Chain A
Amino acid sequence: MVDANARPAFGRAALRVFDLGLGQMLWSRRTVFMALIAGGPVLIAALLRALASLPTFDAGAGQIGGRAVSLDGPDIFGLMIWTFYLRFTVPVLGVFYGTALIADEVEDRTITYLFTRPVARGAVLAGKYLAYLACTAVVVLPSVTIVYFLVVPLLGGSIGRNFPALLVDLGLIGAGLAVYGAVFALVGAWFRRSLLTGLVFVFGWEPLVVVLPGYMKYLSVAYYLQGLAPHAMPQGDALSVIQALLTSVQTPLATWVNLAALALIWTVALAAAMRAVERREFVLGQ
């Protein structure tokens, strides 16, 4: 007969769920699709690299709308990190995986087997969240690294000198994945139409509030990530306009404030998501 008191501790249970969930997540159709999205910047970087090798290529200084601009490989890499990764790929990964942490198990009808084990439901969510972090890191970080090695050497950029910035970028993307994942895990646990809600947040709310004056921007993740971006944006009037459109209002916050804000969002969102999963019924077939 069973030892009625034998049950794994929270952390151990989360790691067991991580083991169980990672394989399912890595080989899902969603991951294949997301890998294609993360491959887009690599394709663009490869095209840039091919263009740069043409004998007629002359860049590094040029004109947009009659105004002089200058940029080099690290500048292009910085733009790509912000536009392709931090403002698109990372939140999209967060939405599609974060809202599906429990929803996938419900849809596949496997949630029953997890929720009838002697572990806290919060540990199930935590394990799935860890699997999400591992899975998305596998999808995005190699893409960023490849883009770095393709783009940074363009127009005289130095791979060695810019390497610390790459590490910061990778850390920033990791932080973005962690915070967006936690926020959308909460959205997935709270809302019935969680994917739609998440997409509205990423493509409606965040782009809007970071350009609006006032305090609404503090209710976004992008604002704090933007404040941590290490790249000096390219110089020149025209590119400054583009930069202004992309990064909008320059953050006045110190680095530690941005980090603290992201840590707070992460903690509150993940704790609230676990609490919601603990309390909510998941009725299959409804």
Chain B
Amino acid sequence: MSPPVIAAHGVSKWYGQVIGLNNVTVSIPPGISGLLGPNGAGKSTLLKLVSGQLKPSQGHVQVLGEPIWGNPKAYRRIGYCPDHDGFYERMTGRDWLTALLGLGGFDDDRAARAAARALDTVGLTDAADRKIGGYSKGMRQRIKLAQAIAHDPELLVLDEPLAGLDPLGRRRVIDVIRAWGREGRSVVVSSHVLHEIELMTSNILLLNNGRILAEGNVHQIRDLIDEHPHTVRITADDPRRLARRLLGYSHVIAMQLQDGAVIAQTNRPDVFYTELTALAAGDEVGAVREVTSPDDNLHAVFSYLVNQ
């Protein structure tokens, strides 16, 4: 059996009086693993501990067989994509990636080549020489992913990498992650949307209130999720036309227009996302800018799980 890529033993993390993670012991095997939980569950805290940004208040974390806190040598083997939106806005995407690769020990030529490759992988070659400050939200998400993969790490740690992406961007990022897994490398990816995780892996960890609730195969959770309607918020150029089109789907059970966005509820999220991607790829409903999913539905499932 392969050694775990991440091993946490009795790990707790608290911020003053607030508990971020509570006595978590977990071994994450090689391959793609999904970290699923509502906002505030402790996903980001766990990923920050894994990427060496935070020190455990208690317990210890090993990544790729090495302790991670205060061990920058090990960071060379990890690519981390944060959930937050912070950039050097005046730099171009290419310059930013090249500079970060330089910090990773790449010389200028290698850094330029690796940056170009990463930009191509995330579909930003055309925008590479534009300033990041002028990027759309989806492009910013993708440039974050590019900086995580550019140095070809052994382990990718991705915190909500699909948040705010349009359907085509989502598909591209999911493809990148799956390809990474197929090459025998490891990915830990967090989301509060089960459907997103499910498209990448069947191996999940359920996290709530700073504790691991369950780990293993996705199918049982999937059945529970399906009992609860899944809410999706879609920002589009022509939301009315999109709403009219979505109303024709039998799996869409409720719909409203709010602040120029369509809020749809579906009991078949997998089918819904597939059809939405197809719609976005065509000209029928105009451009679809952003797809997000509030985590109310996941909260409901977690409440159900916890009370069982």
Q: What is A's interface to B at a CB cutoff of 8 Å?
A: 1-8, 13, 16-17, 19-20, 23-24, 27, 108-110, 112-121, 278-279, 281-286
Q: Does B302 contact A (CB under 8 A)?
A: no
Given A1-B154, A6-B104, 6 more A-B residue pairs with CB atoms under 8 Å apart are A24-B90, A108-B87, A110-B86, A112-B80, A112-B84, A118-B103
Given contacts A23-B90, A27-B90, is CB(A113)–CB(B73) below 8 Å? no
CA distance A115 to B80 in the complex (A): 11
Do residues B85 and A109 form an inter-chain contact, with CB atoms below 8 A? yes
Residues of B88-109 at the interface with A, using a CB-CB cut-off of 8 Å, are 88, 90-91, 99-100, 102-106
Across-interface contacts of A27 in B (CB, < 8 A): 90
Q: What is B's interface to A at a CB cutoff of 8 Å?
A: 15, 51-55, 70, 72-78, 80, 82, 84-88, 90-91, 99-100, 102-106, 147, 151-154, 185
Nearest Cβ on chain A to B99's Cβ, whole angstroms: 5
* Complex: chain B residue closest to A109, CB-CB: B86
* Complex: chain A residue closest to B91, CB-CB: A23
Do residues B86 and A116 form an inter-chain contact, with CB atoms below 8 A? no
Majority DSSP secondary structure for residues of B touching A: loop
State which of A6, A108, A279, A286 has its C-beta within 8 Å of the C-beta of B105: A6
Do residues B55 and A13 form an inter-chain contact, with CB atoms below 8 A? no
Interface centre among B54, B76, B80, B105 (most CB of A within 10 A): B105
Do residues A20 and B75 form an inter-chain contact, with CB atoms below 8 A? no
Do residues B75 and A112 form an inter-chain contact, with CB atoms below 8 A? no
Would you mind naming 7 contact pairs between A and B with Cβ atoms under 8 Å apart? Answer: A6-B106, A8-B103, A19-B102, A20-B88, A23-B91, A121-B72, A286-B15
Do residues B104 and A110 form an inter-chain contact, with CB atoms below 8 A? no
State which of A16, A118, A120, A121 has its C-beta within 8 Å of the C-beta of B76: A118
Across-interface contacts of A284 in B (CB, < 8 A): 84, 86
Across-interface contacts of A109 in B (CB, < 8 A): 82, 84-86
Across-interface contacts of B99 in A (CB, < 8 A): 16, 19-20
CA distance A27 to B55 in the complex (A): 34
CA distance A4 to B54 in the complex (A): 21
Given contacts A2-B152, A6-B105, A118-B75, is CB(A283)–CB(B86) below 8 Å? no
Across-interface contacts of A6 in B (CB, < 8 A): 76, 104-106
CA distance A147 to B189 in the complex (A): 58
Do residues A119 and B100 form an inter-chain contact, with CB atoms below 8 A? no
Do residues B100 and A113 form an inter-chain contact, with CB atoms below 8 A? yes
Do residues A4 and B76 form an inter-chain contact, with CB atoms below 8 A? yes
Do residues A118 and B54 form an inter-chain contact, with CB atoms below 8 A? no
* Complex: chain A residue closest to B72, CB-CB: A118
State which of B53, B73, B100 has its C-beta within 8 Å of the C-beta of A7: B73
Do residues B103 and A17 form an inter-chain contact, with CB atoms below 8 A? yes
State which of B75, B84, B90, B91 has its C-beta within 8 Å of the C-beta of A117: B75
